[in-house]
Amino acid sequence: MAFARWLLFATFLVSALALTPQQNATLEQYSKPCRDATGVTPQDIDTGLNGEDKTDDSKLKAHVLCVLKKIDLINENGDIDVEKLKKLAKLVAASEEEAESEVAKCALQKDTHEDTAFRTIRCLHEKWPQFSPVE
């Protein structure tokens, strides 16, 4: 049952976000241990990144932070690797200038590492639904 739910979620994620199979596999490799550690559900991840207000969902924010740490987009001090984020944004932006502008707008330090991670990814995802934190 759990695998079937994951497969449905992964299929939805690939089609909705236009992730490549490689991006999906890589993201799942990092996401699964983080989901297990935080207890967040795939549905919470989906709704939290696709419009529903989940800014108070501590499990979701902890999950996003966990994934971003695993892929080295944020370090233990809560600092965002802006250059790496710009590189990823350039894959989906209309121009290099747009990528740099949106990353500058989205990659802002918040009160907690969890808020920084969640709000950065949510902001980029709102601009580009196909944005992926992995290549």
Residues forming a β-bridge with 10:
none
Instruction: Output the pTM of the full model.
Output: 0.80
The structure tokens 């370090």 sit at: 75
Determine the pLDDT at residue 20: 81
Q: Are 46 and 8 in contact (CB under 8 A)?
A: no
* DSSP structural state of residue 110: -
pLDDT tens across 51-71, in order? 666 667 899 899 999 999 999
pLDDT tens across 82-133, in order? 999 999 999 999 999 999 999 999 999 999 999 999 999 989 988 998 898 9
Instruction: Place 135 in a pLDDT band, splitting at 50, 70 and 90.
Output: confident
Tokens matching residue 86: 């710009």
Determine the pLDDT at residue 111: 95
Task: Measure the CA–CA gap between 53 and 124, rounded to whole angstroms.
Answer: 15
Domains and CATH numbers, the chain: 2-127 (1.10.238.20)
C-alpha 88, offset from chain centre: 12
Determine the pLDDT at residue 6: 41
Phi-psi region of 78 (alpha: psi -120 to 50; beta: other; left: phi over 0): left
| CB neighbours of residue 61 within 10 Å | 26
